[in-house]
């Protein structure tokens, strides 16, 4: 029950970009009955947009990475929503514009998954998520969260710390470190850093009405 002890019984899986690319290549090639080990050869089977951008990155993967928590299921869920949208518009291929079109649908999926994880670890998860919606901004400071979370109850201060810890540990919130924002799936942050600003994960902005 003590969320501060989660790391003691947790084995953290790390998926590199290369691992993700290999997995998706295999999955799409098997589904398409095409034998290839190169993602740039497989991608045109499902996507009509440019394969690489000006920096020679695979733009399709880069866009999804911004919505993901570095897990294969994030990529698969997003591609599934893209495919559903393309099919609903009588197309066999995904277009670049489809990413924005399915942003809200994927955000709802991401939020439901987060709720399922929070539910087993933090009783007041709905209250904590509602506070973020009430703040109404993707970036906020601890005082803003604590003021709303503890409203009408002085005894809720300790619970507020537990809430923020749970939200950070499960990647609802990240913390700015230098010029970047770090999430737990990238780097397990020390609790001492939880007194600064928090940033809501990009995948949850639509579902939490932060736009």
Q: Return the SS3 of 47.
A: strand
Contact 174, 182 (CB under 8 A): yes
Lowest mean pLDDT among 37-41, 77-81, 136-140, 177-181: 177-181
pLDDT score at 4: 62
Q: Whole-model pTM above 0.95? A: no
Q: What is the pLDDT of residues 75-128, one digit of tens each?
A: 999 999 999 999 999 999 999 999 999 999 999 999 999 999 888 878 888 999
Percent of the chain topping pLDDT 90:
55
Which one has a higher pLDDT value, 187 or 74?
74
Average pLDDT estimate for 124-151:
92
Query: Is 175 in a helix, a strand, or coil?
Result: strand
Give the per-residue pLDDT at 154.
56
Could you give the percent of the chain with pLDDT greater than 70?
Answer: 88
**Averaged pLDDT for residues 176-190:** 79
Tokens at residue 17, please? 């970009």
Q: Write out pLDDT tens, residues 151-167.
A: 866 555 558 888 898 89
DSSP string, 149-169: HTTT-GGGHHHHHHHHHHHHH
CA–CA separation, 199 and 123 (whole Å): 22
62: nearest Cα among 49, 91, 209, 33 = 49
**pLDDT at res. 188:** 65
Residue 64 confidence (pLDDT): 94
Please report the pLDDT score of residue 49 as a whole number.
Answer: 84
- For 41, the token pair is 């050869």
pLDDT of residue 137: 95
Q: Is the per-residue pLDDT at 11 higher than 90?
A: no
Average pLDDT, the chain: 87
Residue 67: pLDDT over 60 = yes
Close Cβ partners of 89 (under 8 Å, ≥ 6 residues apart): none
> Taking the alpha carbons of 96, 98, 103, 108 in that order, is the dihedral positive or negative?
negative
Range from 57-71, 151-165, 171-185 carrying the lowest mean pLDDT: 151-165
């Amino acid at each position: 029950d003590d969320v501060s002890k989660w790391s003691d019984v947790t084995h953290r899986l790390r998926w590199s970009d290369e691992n993700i690319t290999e997995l998706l290549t295999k999955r799409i090639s098997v589904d398409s009955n095409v034998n290839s080990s190169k993602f740039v050869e497989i991608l045109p089977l499902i996507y009509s947009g440019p394969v690489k951008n000006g920096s020679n990155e695979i733009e399709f993967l880069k866009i999804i990475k911004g919505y993901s928590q570095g897990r294969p299921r994030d990529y698969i869920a997003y591609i599934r929503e893209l495919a559903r949208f393309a099919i609903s518009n009588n197309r066999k291929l995904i277009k670049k514009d489809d990413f924005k079109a399915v942003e809200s649908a994927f955000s709802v999926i991401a939020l439901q998954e987060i709720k399922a994880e929070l539910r087993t670890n933090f009783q007041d998860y709905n209250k904590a998520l509602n506070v973020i919606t009430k703040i109404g901004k993707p970036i906020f400071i601890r005082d803003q969260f604590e003021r709303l979370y503890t409203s009408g109850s002085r005894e809720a201060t300790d619970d507020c710390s537990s809430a923020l810890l749970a939200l950070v540990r499960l990647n609802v919130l990240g913390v700015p470190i230098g010029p970047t924002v770090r999430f737990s799936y990238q780097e397990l942050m020390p609790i001492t850093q939880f007194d600064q600003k928090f940033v809501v994960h990009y995948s949850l902005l639509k579902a939490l009405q932060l736009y």
